[in-house]
Amino acid sequence: MNKRLPIGISDFREIIEHDYYFVDKSLFIRDVIEGPKIALISRPRRFGKTLNLSMLRYFFSNHTDFSSLFEQLAIQQGGPLVQSKMGRHPVVFLSFKDIKAHNWKDAYTQIRALIREVLTDEYRYLMDWEGLNPATRNQFRAIESDKKDGIHYASFLKTISKTLHRFHQQPAVILIDEYDTPVYSAYVHGYLDEMLAFMRDLLSGGLKDNSSLEKGVITGIMRVAKESIFSGLNNLDEFSVLTHRMSAHFGFLEKEVEALVRHKQLPATAMEEIRNWYNGYVMGEHIIYNPWSILKYTDKPEDGFKPYWINTSANLLLKRLFFTGKANIRIELEQLIRGEKLRKEIIENLILKELDYKKQAVWSLLLASGYLKAENMQQDPSTGVRTYDISIPNKEVHYAYRQLIDSWLTEQSGSEEISYMLQALTQGETKRFAHFLKHFVSTVFSFHDTAGPEPERFYHAFLLGLLVWLEPRYHIRSNRESGQGRFDIALTPKDPRQKGIIIEIKSPYLDKGKSLEDAVEEAAQQMLRLHYAREMQQQGITDIVQLAIAIQGKEVLVKEVPLTPPQEKPGPESS
């Protein structure tokens, strides 16, 4: 029987009772029971965190007998300790996935509404309990009537867990989903300190030295530094994408994807392209597939392979980090987009404010968010610093980077101007291309962008991002051997009747008295001397445009270079 796929469904009970296709991750329950008192689990969005917490909720809950949900699952073989915990504990479940506000006032309003909903929907019976002490009753009534006194909300986890413990005579299980979503929004919109203070009080109250706590499980994508939120939680263990334990419980393993492909009766040949598009994540000791994208593709394979996992909510932060952040990672980002690996240190505990200036923090966030994978850990024996080979995991994420660059360029200059500039480039209109390029540089770039120690690399990265628009018609390559040397950028037309384009970028040696004119001439002579056009000519492409570009700060010169040395040297086209 071809079962329906649970796309967009994160309620475990609904999936089991309505007989949706379910990838059995129930042994996660055993790891939680046998694991630390409090577990912080960080994974990218849409990697099964909410569904796994929902499964924990139904397993532990003493509200109703949910044991039938687990009858056909692997957890039935979990052992006596695991079985003794089923249906024994009151559960508190809070999901912060929808707390995304532009200011603290609105965020606090959303948090109050969340806590009020949980209290009135799940625990109203406690308010009618004769054994409820007056102070707690007043706190619950204040929350129910939406009084704004922060103490009622910041202490909610502590109060509700202790009250449930007294009522049920069993300690509570606290499950917190997407704890970092409001923190991330607060960082982007400028109210981080207020959010950190509230979340620290809320989580510490419920998890720190709480005798009414059986287990606490927190999920998110970022491992925010302990001193920011998890201050004093010495009994907390963290399980990130770099941690071996629990690494098989989030995302799909190879054998799980193969089983789903067979279930959907897809051809075995589909697996190779599935790997290219949605595989590549390295989590602990496992290679992991993106589960959201796998479900979306296998549900409608006739639509072909395309990007399904695009974390649009993170776009604002990523654009800030890539294009305006002081950490200035654009050059290295271009290397990643070219398919290169970078050896980088990954920070285990992320301090959000360091994203503004510290590259290690940016790489750590991109890894935790699913935009990078990390392999081949090496540890310096003297310092203990761990470094990894980081790279883009698959085609889907590569597309996401391209989309971000595309979106940023459009926002800065407008798609119409970019279209005109690229049209001039591909039609060989050097003067017109130079004019648009000069205007683009003067309006979009800051002096800080172009005044670094390696301005060629900055312009190189910018042009590669710009040329993304031409990918349907061109193979875009960078820093590749051709002739006797390496060109900066080459656009090889997929139709050999179209123009091929080769670009070389230089900046003048100011300390040697060199000018822009000197630099553009040096670039032109290098293209001729090293025969950059030879590879395209060997592919049967005869119409080739060679452009030498000289840059100094926000000044740009462009010169078209003939394929063979001319009798007289033409002067540069001033933009």
Q: What is the DSSP string of 139-163?
A: HHHHHHTT---HHHHHTHHHHHHHH
Tokens of 149: 């006194």
Alpha-carbon torsion, ordered 303, 306, 309, 315, to 10 deg: -130
Specify the length of the chain in residues: 575
Nearest-CA neighbor of 291 among 8, 48, 16, 55? 48
Backbone angles phi, psi at 239, to 5 degrees: -125, 100
Buried b (16+ CB within 10 A) or exposed e, 112-134: bebbbebbeebbeebeeeeebee
- The DSSP 8-state label assigned to residue 394 in this structure reads S
Tell me the C-alpha distance between 564 and 525, whole Å: 10
Compute the half-sphere exposure of residue 188: CA atoms within 13 Å on the CB side of its CA: 19
Whole-angstrom distance, CA of residue 88 vs CA of residue 165: 11
CA-wise closest residue to 560 among 528, 518, 536, 529? 528
SS3 330: helix
Contact assessment for residue 487 and residue 535, using Cβ atoms and an 8 Å cutoff: no
Q: What is the pLDDT of residue 567?
A: 59
Cα distance between residue 461 and residue 335, in whole Å: 8
DSSP of 206-272, one letter per residue?
A: HHTT-TTEEEEEEEES--B-TTTT-TT-TTEEEE-TT-STTTTSSSB-HHHHHHHHHHTT--TTHHH
Amino acid 508: pLDDT: 86
pLDDT of the chain, 575 residues: tens digit per residue: 789 999 999 999 999 999 999 999 999 999 999 999 999 999 999 999 999 999 999 999 999 999 999 999 999 998 999 999 999 999 999 999 999 999 999 999 999 999 999 999 999 999 989 999 999 999 999 999 988 776 779 999 999 999 999 999 999 999 999 999 999 899 888 999 999 999 999 999 999 999 999 999 999 987 776 556 776 677 789 999 999 999 999 999 999 999 999 999 999 889 999 999 999 899 988 999 999 999 999 999 999 998 888 655 556 667 666 665 555 677 787 778 878 899 999 887 778 778 777 888 889 888 998 999 999 999 999 998 999 999 999 999 988 887 777 766 666 666 677 888 889 999 999 999 999 888 887 776 654 454 555 566 667 777 777 787 787 899 888 765 444 456 788 999 999 999 999 999 998 876 677 898 999 999 999 999 998 999 899 999 999 999 999 988 888 999 999 988 765 455 555 44
Identify the DSSP state of 570. P
CA 481 to chain centre: 33
The pair of structure tokens assigned to 65 is 């007998």
Q: Which residue has the tokens 């990918």?
A: 471
**181, 192, 187: which is closest to 50 by C-alpha?**
181
Q: Residue 232 is encoded by which pair of tokens?
A: 């004093």
Q: What's residue 339's pLDDT?
A: 83
Give the domains, in start order, of the chain with CATH numbers: 12-239 (3.40.50), 254-303 (no CATH), 312-397 (no CATH), 414-574 (3.90.1570)
Cβ neighbours of residue 237 under 8 Å, at least 6 residues apart?
35, 36, 38, 39, 40
- Distance between first and last Cα of the chain: 66
Which amino acid, one-letter code, is at 112?
R
**Amino acid 95: pLDDT:** 97
Tell me the one-letter amino acid at 143: I
Measured CA distances, 440 to 222, 410, 435 (Å):
35, 11, 9
Q: What DSSP string describes 282-316?
A: EETTEEEB-HHHHHHHHHSGGG-S------GGGHH
Q: How far apart are CA 373 and CA 154, in angstroms?
A: 36
Tokens at residue 101, please?
């506000």
| pLDDT given for residue 575 in this prediction | 47
* Residue from 381, 318, 337 nearest 476 by CA: 337
